[in-house]
Amino acid sequence: MPPDLPSDVLRLIFEEAACGTLCGGPEWPSSLRLVCRAVRDWTHPILFSRILVTKSTAASFLQLVASISPPFFYGVRSLNLLIDPGAFDTLVMESHIAACFRNVQHLCCSLRVLRIAAILPEAFMAPTHLSIWYDPILPKPTDPVVGFLQNVTHLRVIPHLSMRGSFVETLAALEVVVIDIVHDSDTVITENVDMFCRMRTIRRIEIVTHLSTAREAMIRDLVAAFTDPRITTS
């Protein structure tokens, strides 16, 4: 450690470097963590505040989770599992993921991965921000995964079917919903918007369309029929 700089200045330098190296793979923190013990301690909460797992990094991620004790990951606040659930070893997931990522606030994954993560009821994460995408079978209100989501206040969904009667209606803390429309079905769109409009805890419903310009205009007209001031479209 250079002796001519105060430790608080050195800490600021390395923390800034850590903020600039966040790029999503399980290996990216290694260079800063190897400088020395002090730098490792300074940068660890930053480097592991957000983890993005893709198909190419899934194997490394699982190896890391299986080989390190859970407290190592307690600083993780955002966990993005952007992979097919088939990429995970269920036994590894059951044994480690819920315990390791107990402090995650932002969780993004498919519902099938979510079910795997929520298997251990005594080690639930308590995410407040949840992003999920298409699953052919939505969990019902009695599904064990529902208890895992009791603190969710912000929900982003990419629905391909109606969510009426699903676990979504049990999210008592839900305040903000973002619906990404990628499936061109008037029935699905109106049923889902109607369901969220009936949930009185929600204060904002944002609809984001990913369709042709002409079709997006039709969706806006369709949604405008609800005359609910909480709805916005983009």
Residue-wise pLDDT tens digits, 24-54: 444 455 566 667 777 777 776 677 778 888 8
Contact (CB, 8 A) for 113 and 87: no
Q: Which residue has the higher pLDDT, 74 or 198?
A: 198
pLDDT in tens, 172-182: 889 999 988 88
Dist CA 123 CA 109 (whole Å): 18
Q: Identify the top-confidence range among 8-12, 25-29, 141-145, 216-220.
A: 216-220
Same domain, 1 and 26: yes
Percent of all residues in the chain with a pLDDT value above 90, rounded to a whole number:
10
For residue 199, name the pLDDT band (cuts at 50, 70, 90).
Answer: very high
Strand order in the sheet with 154-157: 50-53, 78-81, 106-110, 129-133, 154-157, 176-181, 204-209, 231-233
pLDDT in the model for residue 24: 47
Q: Provide the CATH number for the domain around residue 219.
A: 3.80.10
Task: State the pTM of this model.
Answer: 0.73
Provide the residue range defining the domain that includes 35.
Answer: 1-48
Domain co-membership, 70 together with 89? yes
Rounded-to-integer distance, Cα 133 and Cα 161, Å: 11
**Total of domains in the chain:** 2
Instruction: Give the residue among 124, 125, 123, 118 at the shortest CA–CA distance from 103.
Output: 125
